[in-house]
């Protein structure tokens, strides 16, 4: 791939709302502390559900980010998007009035979109109320591209504007697309990421029907246990995150702080099964290899992998297989962790929250733990940073995200240097 000869891209801003923090600072402090954000669901009565817990956004108030009218006209997933965007744009320190807004774009996705809106409006239709009780805002509240549109409208950003939708790889695809747009010279800055709000009756019920969720109802905070022998499924989470990506010379010209460099990406497809990853993580192997080649990095350059690590049997086994195949003997020297052990699976937002954790690891040289790791699984035999954060110099890292449908995305980050 030719990206090493293209324009360099750096991360200059970040924003996040997660089950363990409603800002990047709070999220990162709690991640290093190994805090679980998983608890019993409060949004609805779970008496009839096999799973009664999830990673809700505790204390989130949309009115801290938007007026009451707007809050009523956007689904929760878009509220989370706007909240993360506000933090990220403030964090990057850009004076938008001094910028050519045609050179700033938004690629922001959601795996599902307005799930709660669809559920509510379906109720209006079918519970004897009829089609005239459907809200005129139903369609624009539901569609998964509207968060990108709302961010663009709020800040007047007139560059490329669209959504990615690829299940749990959604946000990573948004970030990778944004990388390419900057590299090709289409734009100078991109607002990118993803959000999800699927903790509702249809969301939990649907994933229960799929037998994908943990049912460890007696200890919710211990239910998400990636790579651990007694894992029994993933835990639903919600939230959103955003990276501000910027062309290096543009960032330097305005005196921006630089967190890290986004050096490369790899996108592949399993072509195997709608929910189960390809045996041995074959597609994940190619995704990681592609990201390394794109970034001009050797396998021995990688110090850390932010794993997809869902706490499901096949994902964790095959992702481990893939890492061992790609990195060989060096795999044992890499710190591997799963952010999902603390926040659950944020579906379409998983990739960007993982990317934020990856960038913060590079910035701080601290690797957050994979919590709830009690009994090692012989089939998962890497260093998963069990239960306690570690200090480790991290110069280069990758972040994995894999989605239903066989979608694989890997992002490669490294410490920023002028050379």
**Per-residue model confidence as pLDDT tens digits over 259-305:** 999 999 999 999 999 999 999 999 999 999 999 999 999 999 999 99
Active site residue 308: yes
Count Cβ neighbours within 10 Å for each residue of 319-333 and write b for 16 or more, e otherwise.
bbbbbbbbbeebbee
CA–CA distance, 264 with 296 (Å, rounded to integer):
8
Tell me whether residue 127 is in a domain: yes
Judge whether residue 3 has pLDDT over 60.
no
Q: Which of the residues 92, 168, 200, 380 is marked catalytic?
A: 168
Q: Residues 55, 237: contact at Cβ < 8 Å? A: yes
Q: Which residues contact 61 (CB under 8 A, 6 or more apart)?
A: none
Judge whether residue 221 has pLDDT over 50.
yes
Neighbours of 233 (CB within 10 A): 23
Count Cβ neighbours within 10 Å for each residue of 118-136 and write b for 16 or more, e otherwise.
bbbbeebeeeeeeeeeeee
Active site residue 368: no
Neighbours of 59 (CB within 10 A): 9
Q: What is the pLDDT of residue 115?
A: 95
Q: What is the pLDDT of residue 419?
A: 78
Tell me whether residue 357 is in a domain: yes
The pLDDT tens digits for 28-52 are 999 999 999 999 999 999 999 999 9
Q: Where are the alpha helices (DSSP H) in 156-239?
A: 170-183, 201-209
Q: Which residues contact 191 (CB under 8 A, 6 or more apart)?
A: 85, 88, 89, 104, 105, 106, 107, 108, 151, 155, 157, 242, 244
Q: What is the pLDDT of residue 5?
A: 58
CA–CA distance, 253 with 189 (Å, rounded to integer):
13
Strand 9-17 to 366-367 pairing? unpaired
Q: H/E element holding 396?
A: strand 396-403
Q: Where are the alpha helices (DSSP H) in 24-166?
A: 24-32, 68-72, 76-92, 115-126, 138-142, 146-155
The pLDDT tens digits for 161-204 are 999 999 999 999 999 999 999 999 999 999 999 999 999 999 99
- The total domain count for the chain is 1
Q: Is the pTM of this model over 0.95?
A: yes
Q: Which of the residues 192, 200, 250, 308 is marked catalytic?
A: 308
Range with the poorest average pLDDT among 116-130, 144-158, 245-259: 116-130
The CATH number of the domain holding residue 98 is: 3.40.47.10
The pLDDT tens digits for 68-95 are 999 999 999 999 999 999 999 999 999 9
Tell me whether residue 67 is in a domain: yes
The mean predicted confidence, pLDDT, of the chain is 97
Tell how far CA 33 is from the center of its chain.
Answer: 20
Tell how far CA 391 is from the center of its chain.
Answer: 23
Tell me whether residue 2 is in a domain: no
Q: Residues 230, 372: contact at Cβ < 8 Å? A: no
Neighbours of 409 (CB within 10 A): 30
Q: Phi and psi dihedrals of 80, rounded to 5?
A: -65, -40
CA–CA distance, 172 with 279 (Å, rounded to integer):
22
Strand 407-414 to 260-269 pairing? antiparallel
Tell me whether residue 396 is in a domain: yes
Give the mean model confidence (pLDDT) for residues 377-388.
Answer: 98
Tokens of 180: 């390419």
Tell me whether residue 124 is in a domain: yes
Q: What is the pLDDT of residue 4?
A: 43
**128 band by pLDDT with thresholds 50, 70 and 90:** confident
CA–CA distance, 232 with 246 (Å, rounded to integer):
40
Tokens of 20: 């363990």
Going by C-alpha positions, the residue among 261, 291, 301 that lies closest to residue 418 is: 261
Tell me whether residue 309 is in a domain: yes
Q: Which of the residues 92, 173, 250, 345 is marked catalytic?
A: 345
Tokens of 170: 């959604």
CA–CA distance, 191 with 109 (Å, rounded to integer):
11
Judge whether residue 257 has pLDDT over 70.
yes
Tell me whether residue 1 is in a domain: no
Neighbours of 283 (CB within 10 A): 22
- Domain of 21 in residue numbering reads as 8-419
């Amino acid at each position: 791939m030719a990206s090493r000869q293209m324009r360099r891209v750096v991360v200059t801003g970040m924003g996040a709302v997660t089950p363990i923090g409603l800002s990047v600072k709070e999220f990162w402090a709690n991640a290093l502390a190994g805090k679980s954000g998983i608890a019993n669901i409060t949004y609805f009565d779970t008496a009839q559900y096999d799973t009664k817990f999830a990673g809700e956004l505790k204390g989130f108030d949309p009115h801290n980010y938007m007026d009451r009218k707007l809050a009523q006209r956007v689904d929760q997933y878009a509220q989370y998007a706007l909240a993360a965007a506000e933090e990220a744009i403030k964090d990057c320190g850009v004076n938008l009035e001094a910028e050519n807004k045609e050179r700033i774009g938004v690629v922001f996705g959601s795996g599902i979109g307005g799930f709660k809106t669809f559920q509510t409006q379906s109720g209006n239709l079918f519970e004897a109320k009829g089609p005239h009780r459907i809200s005129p805002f139903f369609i624009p509240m539901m569609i998964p591209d509207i968060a990108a549109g709302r961010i663009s409208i709020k800040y007047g950003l007139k560059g490329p504007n669209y959504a990615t939708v690829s299940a749990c790889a959604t946000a990573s695809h948004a970030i990778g697309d944004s990388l390419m747009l900057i590299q090709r010279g289409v734009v100078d800055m991109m607002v990118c990421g993803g959000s999800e709000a699927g903790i509702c009756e249809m969301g939990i019920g649907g994933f229960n029907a799929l037998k994908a969720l943990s049912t460890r109802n007696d200890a919710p905070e211990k239910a998400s246990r990636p790579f651990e022998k007694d894992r029994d499924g993933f835990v639903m989470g919600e939230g959103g995150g955003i990276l501000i990506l910027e062309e290096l010379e543009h960032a330097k010209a305005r005196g921006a702080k630089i967190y890290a460099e986004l050096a490369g990406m790899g996108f592949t497809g399993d072509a195997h099964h709608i929910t189960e990853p390809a045996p041995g993580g074959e597609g994940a192997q190619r995704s990681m290899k592609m990201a390394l080649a794109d970034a001009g990095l050797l396998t021995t350059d990688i110090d850390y992998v932010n794993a997809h690590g869902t706490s499901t049997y096949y994902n964790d086994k095959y992702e481990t297989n893939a890492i061992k195949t790609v990195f060989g003997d060096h795999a044992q020297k890499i710190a591997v962790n799963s952010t999902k052990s603390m926040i659950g699976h944020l579906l379409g937002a998983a990739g960007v929250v993982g990317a934020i954790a990856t960038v913060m690891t590079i910035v701080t040289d601290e690797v957050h733990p994979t919590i709830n790791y009690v009994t090692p699984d012989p089939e998962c035999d890497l260093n998963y940073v069990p239960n306690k954060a570690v200090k480790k110099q991290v110069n280069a890292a990758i972040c994995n995200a894999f989605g239903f449908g066989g979608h694989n995305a890997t992002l490669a980050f490294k410490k920023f240097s002028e050379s």
